[in-house]
Structure 1
Amino acid sequence: MTARTIRIGAGAGFSGDRIEPALELVEHGTLDYLAFECLAERTIALAQAVRRTNPDAGFDPLLEDRMRAVLPAAHARGVRIVTNMGAANPIGAARLVTRIAHELGLTGLRTAAVTGDDVLDIIRAGDFPLIDRPGRSGDLGDAIVSANAYLGAGGIVEALAGGADVVITGRVGDPALFLGPLIHEFGWAMDDWERLGRGTVVGHLLECAGQVTGGYFADPGIKDVPDLARLGFPFADVSDDGSAVLGKVDGSGGCLTCATCKEQLLYEILDPAGYLQADVVADFTGVSFELTAPDRVHVRGGTGRPRPDTVKVSIGYEDGFVGEGQISYAGPGAVARGQLALDVVRERLRMTGVPISDLRCELIGLNAIDRTGQSDGPEPREVRVRVAGRTPTRAAAERIGAEVEALYTNGPFGGGGAVSSVREVLAVASTLLDRTQIVPSVQYEVA
C-alpha cells in the first residue's frame, strides 16, 4: 500500500438503518469521508409519491435525524459526507441540511445537491423496452410515478471539487458514493478502468454498511457473530492503486473477516466478471482477501472495462392495490381450523367475483415462508391465517380483508385478532437510456 490512504466509512446500508454506528464512526473512526447509502429500488418511487402531495418533501425521512446526530462531530473533525438521501428531492434535502447547520451554529458548511437523475419527462415521451420484463413496453402511460437514471460518480466529484462538505444526490449507483471521493482525492482519470474497477470493489463492500461486519452474515451455531446488538459499521483505508484495508472501530460489535467480505462481494450482483455501473464495468473475479489483524481485512485485485454506452433507469409505476386480512386460531386443531378458514375465504372471493390477479393464502407459523408446510415435530398450537391478493381497484382490495373479518361468525370457531389493510402498489421496472441524454448538475447551499 502507498503511504497516503483515504479512510471512508459506511454510515448506512438502507433508509431505516441505525444512526448510532455512523456517529461512532465519526467520533472514533478517524474518517476522511462518511457515506450514507439509503436508496433501495422502490424507495425513490415512494419518495416521489410523497413529493406529489408535499413539494418540499421527497427526501429520506431520517435525513434530519442523521444530520443532527453526525454534523457537529463531522464538522469539527473535517469529515465530509456523501449520501443519496436526497431521493426525489436533493435540492430540498440540501436546503434542510443548511437550515440544520444554521441551527447548530455550524457556519460556513457548504452543501451540494447533485441532480440530473430524474428522467421522467424523457421516459414518458418515449417507448422504452423493459429489460427485466422481456417483450413488455415501457410505455406505462399515466401510471408512471418516477423515472430515475443511475448516475455515476461524476456529479459527486464535481461537488467535492467545488468545496462541498456535504454532497446529497438522488439516484446514483451505490458504489459511486464511495468511488466519487476516491476519484477526487487521488485524481483518478475517468477512463482509468482498472482503478475505477477497484474503487467499485471497495464501494460495493462498504455500501451495505453492517452487512460486511456480520449483520447479514450471522447464523447462530454456524456463523456466530459477537455483540450483534452493538454492530459496528465498516470503514476502508483506500490507497491510490485501489487496494484497501477494511476495518471497524475497535470495541464495536460484529466481526470483519475474509468470510464476511466474500459474502458481501457476491451480494446482489449478476456477473462477477461484468458488474455494470455507470462509471465502469467492474470485474471482481481477481479480488482476494487477507486477514491482517483482528477485524482488519486487506482487499486486493479487481479491474474494470470501459463503461456502458447506456445507463439503467428505474421506473416506478402504480400497479393496482394489495388487500390483506389476518386472523388467528389457537389450541387443539388450530392448523385444521386455519386451513378451513383459508378454504372459506378462497371460495367466497371466487363466488363474489372479486378480481384478483395474485392470491396468497397461508398459515403464518406453518407455511408462510416454507411453502411446503412440512414440520419436524407436532403441529403448532396456534397459527395465523393470512390472505393477501393484488387487485385493480381499492374497493376490490377491501373485499379481501372483509371476507377474513367475516370469519368471526361465519367460519371455524375460535378466530380472533382479525385485522385488514389495503395498500397501493408502487411497482418497479427497469429500462436503458443513452448516457448522452443525462446531464448531471450541481447546486450549492452555504450555511
Structure 2
Amino acid sequence: MRTTRIGSGAGFSGDRIEPAEDLLRRAGLADLVLECLGERTVAQAQQRRLADPSLGYERRLPARFTRLLPLAAAHGVRVITNMGAANPLAAGRVTVSIMDSLGLRGRVAVVTGDDVLPVLDLDAPAWETGRPLREHGEIVSANAYLGADALLPALAADVVLTGRVADPSLFLAPLADRLGWDLADVPLAAAGTLVGHLLECAGQLTGGYFADPGFQDVPDLAELGFPYADVAADGTAAFGKLPGTGGLLSRATVREQLLYEITDPAAYLTPDVTLDVRGVRVTDDVRVSGARGAARPDTLKVSVGYRAGSKVEAEISYVGPNAAARGALAADIVARRLAGMPVRAEVLGGETDCRLRVAAIGHDGSLLDRVADEVESLYTNGPAGGGGFRAHVTEVIGIASTTIPRAATHPEVTFLEAPDAAA
C-alpha cells in the first residue's frame, strides 16, 4: 500500500532546530512541518507588525531557514510552516532572499486569507468572557484558523508559508496531496487530522513534557529526537523517531498527546473535520488507527487581538538567614501601599534566597509607574537586605476567541521564485 513519511520539525516558536536538521538528513522524509504559532506567539507577532509593518513573521525564521533549507533542498523535502505568523507575505520575501543568498533555487508559496479583521462582527461574543468583542478594547487583529483546503493549491511549491492555520491542517494538507485523498472523504480527513494532532507538538510526542523523574522516566532528554509518521493510503500510521536520538516514543506518550487540547473526545472541532478519538487504537509498536469523524463545521475559530493595556513587572531580592520572612514582609508592605489596585505580589524561592515579584496590568501609565516606584522604595523603606531591583513595562495584546462563517474567508496563494526574477 502506498505510504508517505512526514516529520515534525517544530512544535512551538521557541523549539530547538537540531532535531529538525537530523530529520532532514536521516529520516527520508517527503515533508517536514514546522508548527510555530500559538495564541501567545500570534500576539507577539501582531505587536511587531504594529510597530513595523515590514515585520510580524516569526522572528526565528531567518535563523531556521538558513540552516534547514539547504538540507531540505539536498534531500528533496518539502517544507510547510506557519512561520508567516502576522505577515506571511513578508515572510515569503525574506525566504526568497535567504534562498538567493544560499544559492538555492525553488518556489515559495504564501497562503493568506486568515486575516479577517475587515469582516469581523464586533458584536459577536468572546468565548472567554461572553461579552461582545467591541467591549474588550481596541481590536488590532483577527485571524481565522484556516484548514487544509487553503493549503492544497500551495503545495506545488518547495516551501509553503502560512499565517494562522489550524495545527493539524498543516499536516493533513501534505498527506492529502501525497496520498491523493479527497478532503471531503470524512474518514480520511479524520485519519490525517489525527496524525497531525499527534505530530503538531514535535518533541511532546517523544517524551518532552512527559518526563517526571521516578514516575515517567525519559532517557537523554538533552538530545531529544522529534517524531515522524509513515502514513498509508488508508489513513493508518506508524510513528517513529531516529535511532540514536534521546526521548521516548511509546503508547503512553502517544496517548497523552492524543488528549492534548481536546475538550470533547467525541467532537474535536477542526476546520477539516469534527474528530472523534474515542475509538483510536495505539499498539505497542506505536501504530495508530481508529479515528472517526463527522462533517466539518460551517464556522471557523478566530483569534482576536486587542489592546489590553500595559504590564509592569517589578522585582527585588532578599538573601541570607530569614530571607523568606523578609520577602513576605516586603510583599505585605507593597500590598498595603497599593491597596485597591489590581496588583499581584508573590515571593519566589526558598528560605535563604528569594525574590519578590509584583505585577499589574492596566491602561493608566502613572499607576503602573507607581507599582515600580513602590518596589524600588523597598531599598531603604522595607526589610533589611533588599537588592537587585529591576522593573519593566510592556504593552499587552490580549487574545479573545470567537467564530466566523467559513464563507467569510477567502484564502489566496501567492507564488514567489528563488532566485528572485527582479534581482
Q: TM-score range by the shorter chain?
A: over 0.9
Task: Give the Cα–Cα distance (whole angstroms) in 1 for the partners of residues 391 and 379 of structure 2.
Answer: 13
What is the TM-score with the length of structure 1 in the denominator?
A: 0.91
Structure 1 gaps of 5+ residues are: 367-379
Task: Give the Cα–Cα distance (whole angstroms) in 2 for the partners of residues 327 and 126 of structure 1.
Answer: 42
Match of 1:129 in 2: 125
**1:275 to partner: Cα distance:** 0.6
Match of 1:35 in 2: 33
Which range is displaced more, 9-18 or 417-426? 417-426
Question: Which residue identity lines up with residue 145 of structure 2 in the other structure?
Answer: Y
Superposition pairs of residues 41-440 of structure 1, within 5 angstroms: 41-107=39-105, 109-123=106-120, 126-134=122-130, 136-140=131-135, 143-160=138-155, 163-292=156-285, 297-350=286-339, 356-357=341-342, 359-365=343-349, 380-440=351-411
Matched pairs, number: 418
Instruction: Report the 3-state secondary structure (helix = DSSP H, G, I; strand = E; otherwise coil) of the residue aligned with 2:8.
Output: strand
Q: How has the CA–CA distance of structure 1 residues 185 and 102 changed in structure 2, closer, same or farther, with 3 Å as cutoff?
A: same
| Structure 1 segments (4+ residues) deviating >6 Å | none
CA contact (8 A) 2:126 2:402 kept: yes
Task: Give the Cα–Cα distance (whole angstroms) in 1 for the partners of residues 366 and 280 of structure 2.
Answer: 53
Task: Give the Cα–Cα distance (whole angstroms) in 1 for the partners of residues 362 and 111 of structure 2.
Answer: 38
Instruction: Report the 3-state secondary structure (helix = DSSP H, G, I; strand = E; otherwise coil) of the residue aligned with 2:167.
Output: coil
Task: Give the Cα–Cα distance (whole angstroms) in 2 for the partners of residues 397 and 106 of structure 1.
Answer: 50
Question: Which residue identity lines up with residue 430 of structure 1 in the other structure?
Answer: S
Deviations 1:293-340 (A, max 9, x none): xxxx11111111001111010001111122221111122222221111
Deviations 1:185-239 (A, max 9, x none): 2222222111111111110100000000001101111111111111011000001
**1:291 to partner: Cα distance:** 2.2
Task: Give the Cα–Cα distance (whole angstroms) in 1 for the partners of residues 136 and 239 of structure 2.
Answer: 46
**1:105 to partner: Cα distance:** 1.2
CA contact (8 A) 1:398 1:421 kept: no
Task: Give the Cα–Cα distance (whole angstroms) in 2 for the partners of residues 390 and 167 of structure 1.
Answer: 38
**1:142 to partner: Cα distance:** 6.2
Instruction: Report the 3-state secondary structure (helix = DSSP H, G, I; strand = E; otherwise coil) of the residue aligned with 2:246.
Output: coil
Task: Give the Cα–Cα distance (whole angstroms) in 1 for the partners of residues 168 and 417 of structure 2.
Answer: 27
Task: Give the Cα–Cα distance (whole angstroms) in 2 for the partners of residues 102 and 417 of structure 1.
Answer: 47
Task: Give the Cα–Cα distance (whole angstroms) in 1 for the partners of residues 289 and 136 of structure 2.
Answer: 47
CA contact (8 A) 2:111 2:413 kept: yes
**1:60 to partner: Cα distance:** 0.5
Structure 2 gaps of 5+ residues are: 419-423
Indicate the RMSD between aligned Cα atoms, in angstroms: 1.3
Question: Which residue identity lines up with residue 336 of structure 1 in the other structure?
Answer: A
| % identical equivalent positions | 53
Task: Give the Cα–Cα distance (whole angstroms) in 2 for the partners of residues 436 and 424 of structure 1.
Answer: 34
Instruction: Report the 3-state secondary structure (helix = DSSP H, G, I; strand = E; otherwise coil) of the residue aligned with 1:112.
Output: strand
**1:141 to partner: Cα distance:** 7.5
Question: Which residue identity lines up with residue 24 of structure 1 in the other structure?
Answer: D
Instruction: Report the 3-state secondary structure (helix = DSSP H, G, I; strand = E; otherwise coil) of the residue aligned with 1:31.
Output: coil
